[in-house]
Amino acid sequence: MDMSTDTGIALYPEYDRDRTRVRRISASPKTLPPEPENIDQNKDLSPRMDGQSWVMLIVLSVLWGGSFFFTEIALVDLPPFTLVLGRVAIAAMILWWVVLLRHIDIPRDPKIWLSFLVMGALNNLIPFSLIVWGQTHIASGLAAILNATTPLFTLIIAHLATRNEKLTRRKVIGVLTGFVGVMIVIGLPDGIVPAIESSMSSNTGTSVFKDVFSLAPFAPLAVLIAAISYGCAGVFGRRFKNTPPILTAAGQTSASSLMLLPICMMIDTPWHLPFPKTETILAVLGIAAFSTALAYILYFQLLKRAGASNLLLVTFLIPVSAILLGVLFLGETLALRQIGGMAVIGLGLAVIDGRLIGRKGNPRKSPA
């Protein structure tokens, strides 16, 4: 049976059609080959997380957990779209610099750049903008809880759009358990707060945030839409399996920057803003270099190894990482409730991984 695609890439890209000559893996993000048609829809065939994948997931959660700290510092001086543009634009410059240093071929096919554009919208433009805007109206705890719904939406989207990441009882139980753990860790949120809004209006001199408190009730919905967008991005990003992760990260952040530039110019009018303080500049550099550039290299590598459903479990670990970073570097106290919530999150992850509830079918191992 010929399992090759019309593009000439075989199901196993190490070999060509006659399976005798080694094929050089292309750096172009070709669409993944079709799954075999005889897959049992009731079997869980998603890749299983190995030790290296778990380490990568934890490191990614630390990088993204730190982004909340950087964001709160930067929002004092910068409006949301300006901050997001600075984040992705600086990250793109860092990533392209590394691409050039490593002599990675830059794709020229317009279809590839269109894919980068879609990925940039789903993974950067929409969620970054909505979450940062939402943080100006709701407590960070509520934003984190709503963001933790990402795995729930990812399970549904992956079930509808893929053939090997199907919804199973084990996954549903594990994700719901992890979500409860996040709620325990964070506690009851304070809800809608106008504090950041009034601070930004006085400090930035821009009129964008004046008289917009009426939009505050939509802030929770905005963060939920961001979570859905993250889920769509995880599934869409499967097509970049044969692309170097750093190239995909560079492409999507570049596309995001181009889309954000006119929006930022129209809404934030950044040329009217006072020059930001030193701590604000350092926060933007930190969120760009660590929470975006480095984080997205890990993101696409982990997506390739473990699939979308497993990758976006990182949103359960982000609140844990953020709290532990506060304990280690800010002298904050770790409450008993938070320790209990972390244990519940760990239980949920163990269920999802199949360690407590067996996996139905023959799971595929993560690629080495």
90 versus 312: the higher-pLDDT residue is: 90
Decide if 328 is inside a domain.
no
3-state secondary structure of 25: coil
Half-sphere exposure of 59 (CA within 13 A, CB side): 16
Decide if 264 is inside a domain.
yes
Concatenated DSSP letters of 156-216: HHHHHH-SSS---HHHHHHHHHHHHHHHHHH-S---B--HHHHHHHHHH--STTTT-GGGG
Nearest to 35 by CA among 151, 166, 154, 123: 166
Decide if 197 is inside a domain.
yes
**Range from 57-71, 110-124, 170-184 that averages highest in pLDDT:** 110-124
Q: Decide if pLDDT at 4 tops 60.
A: no
pLDDT of residue 123: 93
Quote the CA–CA distance of 241 and 346 in Å, as a whole number.
Answer: 28
pLDDT of residue 241: 86
Quote the CA–CA distance of 266 and 61 in Å, as a whole number.
Answer: 33
187: left (phi over 0), alpha (psi -120 to 50) or beta: left
Write out the residue range of the structural domain in which residue 147 sits.
67-176+190-318
293 versus 14: the higher-pLDDT residue is: 293
DSSP 165: S
Quote the CA–CA distance of 256 and 121 in Å, as a whole number.
Answer: 6
Q: Decide if pLDDT at 360 tops 70.
A: no
Q: Which residue has the tokens 């390739």?
A: 304
Decide if 169 is inside a domain.
yes
Decide if 354 is inside a domain.
no
248-266 mean pLDDT: 94
Question: How confident is the model over 283-319, as pLDDT tens digits?
Answer: 999 999 999 999 999 999 999 888 888 888 888 888 8
Decide if 73 is inside a domain.
yes
Measured over the CA atoms of residue 179, residue 180, residue 183 and residue 188, the dihedral's sign is positive
Quote the CA–CA distance of 148 and 226 in Å, as a whole number.
Answer: 11
335 versus 1: the higher-pLDDT residue is: 335
3-state secondary structure of 359: coil
Q: Decide if pLDDT at 195 tops 60.
A: no
Measured over the CA atoms of residue 246, residue 247, residue 249 and residue 253, the dihedral's sign is positive
Nearest to 310 by CA among 344, 359, 343, 361: 359
* 15 beta partners: 22
**The CA-based dihedral angle spanning residues 146, 151, 153, 157, taken in that order and rounded to the nearest 10 degrees:** 160
329-334 mean pLDDT: 76
Least confident among 133-142, 223-232, 251-260, 305-314:
133-142
pLDDT of residue 145: 79
189 versus 184: the higher-pLDDT residue is: 184
Whole-prediction pTM value? 0.73
Quote the CA–CA distance of 77 and 203 in Å, as a whole number.
Answer: 6
Q: To the nearest whole number, what is the mean pLDDT of the chain?
A: 79
What's the structural domain count of the chain? 1
Q: Which residue has the tokens 């048609």?
A: 37
3-state secondary structure of 120: helix
Decide if 267 is inside a domain.
yes
Least confident among 156-165, 176-185, 349-358:
349-358
pLDDT of residue 364: 46
pLDDT of residue 103: 92
pLDDT of residue 257: 95
Quote the CA–CA distance of 37 and 159 in Å, as a whole number.
Answer: 16
pLDDT of residue 168: 85
DSSP 212: -
Share of the chain above pLDDT 70, in %: 75
Quote the CA–CA distance of 256 and 114 in Å, as a whole number.
Answer: 12
Let me know: does 170 contact 359? Beta carbons within 8 Å.
yes
Least confident among 2-6, 116-120, 130-134:
2-6
18 versus 312: the higher-pLDDT residue is: 312
Decide if 31 is inside a domain.
no
